[in-house]
């Protein structure tokens, strides 16, 4: 029987990379995204590689959607082994200009989504009476807060905190909860961050914000989805069974904790 994983926010970007890596290692994977058109396209492309996948459209910020996502996974594949809370969004705003809608939107998706996904997965693992793995998307911004990324950084600090709390409470059920903390990747999210940084700067030109952050990476290259997927793949494997409550940096040498 193949292992089953759910990956939220997996129609593109790092989430897709994670889903594809798990598929390549024999997992049946439930892809999930709010963008139905891109989700369907990604599902078809992965099926074209003979991967065992389905797609479920949903909004991670809605608790009912997260529980439905787990139900869809179990209805299709019979059980659940791994739940990856990958979905998240960013915002670039000077601290004095942060508004209520930005705070609500980012916390609703980045934090509430992780809480609801963790609850839904944990309930299923307990019901199955099996061990389980919950893996959350944190960030270098969950270890160090960045100028212009105040709200985003705050949400990722919250993810790290909830990862630790859930790990402590769920350990008695043999459920591990960990987080992966990416750095700087050439994704659409970082393209948006670069554009916004330029908008609020007097001297930055397009691409320079990304280059500035990237230049500080010790390994002298920006991140690829595979770099992140390799860590998540390890956390999803039995090799990580004795690790819980950790937020592990995978950033090429940028933040040291």
* Beta bridge mates, 25: none
The answer to the question of whether 6 is labelled as a binding residue is: no
Instruction: Give the active site residues.
Output: 152
Q: Tell me the C-alpha distance between 133 and 127, whole Å.
A: 14
Token couple for 164: 């630790």
Closest to 186 (Cα-Cα) out of 156, 210, 152: 210
Residue 207 known to bind ligand = no
Q: Quick one: tokens of 43? A: 């599902």
Q: Does residue 193 have a known ligand-binding role?
A: no
Alpha helices of the chain — where are they, by DSSP H? 13-24, 36-47, 63-77, 100-106, 113-128, 150-170, 188-199, 208-215, 225-236
Q: Is the pLDDT of residue 201 over 80?
A: no
Residue 233 labelled as part of a binding site: no
From 86, 87, 172, 167, select the one nearest 133 (Cα to Cα). 167
pLDDT in tens, 119-135: 999 999 999 999 999 99
pLDDT digits (tens, 9 = 90+) for 3-49: 999 999 999 999 999 999 999 999 999 999 999 999 999 999 999 99
Summary mean pLDDT of the chain: 94
pLDDT tens, position by position, 77-136: 999 999 999 999 999 999 999 999 999 999 999 999 999 999 999 999 999 999 999 999
Across the strands, what pairs with 223?
A: 185
Confidence grade of residue 186 (pLDDT, cut at 50, 70, 90): confident
86 belongs to an annotated ligand binding site? yes
Closest CA to 151 of 195, 191, 208, 110: 110
pTM of the model: 0.95
- Cα–Cα distance between 197 and 82 in angstroms, integer? 36
Q: What is the CATH number of domain 4-89+100-183+224-250?
A: 3.40.50.720
**Do the Cβ atoms of 7 and 84 come closer than 8 Å?**
yes
Residue 241 annotated as lining a ligand binding site: no
The 3-state DSSP class for residue 61 equals: coil
What pLDDT shows up at residue 198? 76
Domain ranges of the chain: 4-89+100-183+224-250
């Amino acid at each position: 029987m193949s292992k089953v994983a759910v990956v939220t926010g997996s129609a593109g970007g790092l989430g897709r990379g994670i889903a594809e890596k798990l598929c390549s290692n024999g997992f049946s994977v439930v892809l999930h995204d709010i963008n139905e058109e891109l989700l369907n396209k990604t599902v078809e492309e992965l099926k074209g590689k003979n991967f065992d996948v389905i797609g479920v459209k949903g909004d991670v910020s809605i608790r009912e959607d997260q529980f439905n996502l787990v139900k869809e996974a179990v209805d299709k594949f019979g059980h659940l082994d791994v739940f990856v809370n990958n979905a998240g969004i960013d915002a670039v705003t000077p601290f004095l200009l942060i508004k209520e809608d930005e705070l609500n939107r980012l916390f609703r998706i980045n934090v509430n989504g992780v809480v609801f996904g963790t609850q839904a997965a944990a309930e299923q693992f307990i019901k199955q009476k099996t061990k389980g793995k919950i893996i959350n998307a944190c960030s270098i911004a969950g270890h160090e807060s960045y100028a212009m990324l105040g709200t985003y950084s705050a949400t990722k600090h919250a993810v790290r905190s909830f990862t630790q709390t859930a790990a402590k409470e769920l350990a008695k059920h043999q459920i591990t909860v960990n987080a992966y903390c990416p750095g700087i990747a050439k994704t659409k999210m970082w393209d948006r961050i670069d554009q916004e940084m330029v908008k609020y700067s007097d001297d930055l030109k397009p691409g320079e914000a990304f280059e500035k952050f990237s230049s500080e990476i010790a390994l002298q290259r920006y991140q690829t989805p595979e770099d992140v997927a390799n860590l998540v793949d390890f956390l999803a494997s039995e090799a990580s069974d004795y690790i819980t409550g950790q937020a592990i940096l995978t950033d090429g040498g940028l933040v040291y904790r």
